[in-house]
Chain A
Amino acid sequence: MTTSEEIKEKSPLISVKDLEKHFTDVHALNGVSVDIYRGDVVFVVGPSGSGKSTFLRCLNRLEEPTSGTILFEGINITDKKCDINKHRQKMGMVFQQFNLFPHMTVMRNLTIGPMKLQHKTKEEAESYAHELLKRVGLETRADAYPNQLSGGQKQRIAIVRALCMRPDVMLFDEPTSALDPEMVGEVLEVMRDLAEDKMTMVVVTHEMAFAKEIATKVLFMAEGQILETGEGREFFENPKTERLKTFLEKVL
């Protein structure tokens, strides 16, 4: 009994093969290959400058890979002929610096994508946005402007903005690194909630305890390569390579 649905379920959502990225004088990614399946919560950890963020940003081609392929939902999105804008709608991205649109209200931030790109009516877009705002506990801030929000609130709104496009995967680029310590918790709470909801997530972070708690898969990167891969808790408790052992000693 292999229906096409089932094949779709079992084949990777994102399949990265031999990804290379050269900047003018830095070899940022040096042959990265990994498969990410639906429902995976993948954490990418490693020392700074190891290429974690570059890897994540290559996944939706905010950074143009030098070579290698990325299959997303079976389609090669590194192919120059593919319409990357179409695929980006299915890949939500959350930035370290939030990058909310300061000239728009929170509600407009949330609805502009669905309305302009997915041709949703204002009512449809707003009702879904309201639903998600309620889920992150910010339903009263719909008419606020981003600068009136705290950092934690901004990041939760940024997550909702990505979710409003109904993405198949969420990419998080150090989502709590720019936050005051007391605001980290509220953002992690939202992410935990998403993970429990079986959202596929790829997270670059320095929050090791959080990774240990919710990751289904952890990638350890150094010098542009994936040096070790592990299943959540196992990764942190039984590191195999020396590099990872020293890294974990430093950060835990």
Chain B
Amino acid sequence: MFSAIMDFGDKLGTALFKLSYNFPNQFYLNFIKENRWKYLTDGLKVTLTVTIFAVLIGVILGFLVAIIRSTHDKTGKLTLLNWVCTVYLTVIRGTPVLVQLLIIYFVIFGSVRVDKVFVAVVAFGINSGAYVAEIIRGGIMSIDQGQFEAGRSIGFNYTQTMIYIILPQVFKNVLPALGNEFIVLLKETSVSGYIALQDLTKGGDIIRSQTYSPLLPLLAVALIYLFFVMILSKLLKILEGRLRNSDH
């Protein structure tokens, strides 16, 4: 065990040493030569596009499922729809996202030519929707029953109570968790390479396969993800702070 760690340290040390005396050459080879940096920027565009649209689909889908599920929990109506939602949640949360992506690409869209970005957006959107649904449902159920009763006692019907009283409070409570889902999704899209979609990760991997030097391109990919995740986390922190300020 100990020798394995030493060995790993040695290898990493050697790699970094090679890199340090050879950095300009390596940098040139991996990023400048033949405009290889474009693999990264083009890949980044794909990654961000997939993430943003998948988040949109996820939020819309998740919101609908959450409304159906919590309406069923509170009123006992919508039994059939609730059953459909439960199946959706069980299947999506019970299987790996990569398997879902492969099935959607090779099985569902198997016989039609279709844009891979679109496939990825659909797959990650449907996947994210399940997690968002549970986040929002949790948010709805966490609002005190007295808030519903107060709304209903004034004369608002169920829908009006939801819109005016409950959802504004839910939104405020679940925003941090939704932001976190956004971050998770950004990283999860890195498996898109399995359907030969050239996202950021795949872009770095293509450079590696052309230059036979894995360290710089993969390090660059990791740093780009890290950069965006840190930016998003920072934004979330600011947003959370704002929400708390208005929480008198």
Interface residues of A (CB under 8 A from B): 60, 62, 85-86, 88-89, 91-93, 95, 97, 99-103, 112-113, 116-117, 144-148, 161-162, 165
Contact = CB atoms under 8 A, between A and B. Distances in A.
B125 to A, nearest CB: 29
Nearest to A83: B157
B248 A88 contact: no
Contacts of B248: 144-148
Q: A-B pairs with the 7 shortest C-beta distances?
A: A145-B248, A89-B155, A99-B150, A93-B153, A99-B146, A113-B154, A88-B155
B146 A88 contact: no
Contacts of A103: 168-169, 172
A88 B153 contact: yes
Given A95-B149, A147-B248, 9 more contacts: A62-B152, A62-B153, A85-B155, A88-B153, A95-B146, A113-B156, A116-B156, A116-B164, A162-B153
Contacts of B144: 97, 99
Contacts of A162: 153-154
Contact of A101 (B147, B152, B157, B172): B147
B34 interface: no
Contacts of A95: 146, 149-150, 153
Given A97-B146, A99-B146, A99-B147, A60 B164 contact: no
Contacts of A144: 248
Nearest to A86: B155
Given A99-B144, A147-B247, A62 B149 contact: yes
6 contacts: A60-B153, A62-B153, A93-B149, A101-B165, A112-B154, A113-B154
Interface of B: 144, 146-147, 149-157, 160, 164-165, 168-169, 172, 247-248
A148 B54 CA distance: 40
A161 B153 CA distance: 11
A88 B152 contact: yes
A165 B155 contact: yes
Contacts of B168: 103
Contact of B154 (A97, A145, A146, A161): A161
Contacts of B154: 88-89, 112-113, 117, 161-162, 165
A113 B248 CA distance: 22
Contact of B156 (A85, A99, A146): A85
Contacts of B157: 85
A99 B169 CA distance: 13
A92 B146 CA distance: 15
Contacts of A161: 154
Nearest to A88: B155
A86 B155 CA distance: 6
Nearest to B157: A85
B123 to A, nearest CB: 36
Contacts of A99: 144, 146-147, 149-150
Which of B155, B165, B172 has the largest number of chain A CB atoms within 10 A? B155
B129 to A, nearest CB: 26
A88 B150 CA distance: 11
Contacts of A112: 154, 164
Contacts of B160: 116
Contacts of A148: 248
Contacts of B153: 60, 62, 88, 91-93, 95, 162
A156 to B, nearest CB: 15
A116 B144 CA distance: 22
Nearest to A117: B155
B245 to A, nearest CB: 11
Contacts of B247: 102, 147
A147 B153 CA distance: 21
A162 B150 CA distance: 10
B81 to A, nearest CB: 22
B10 to A, nearest CB: 59
Which of A62, A99, A113, A144 has the largest number of chain B CB atoms within 10 A? A99
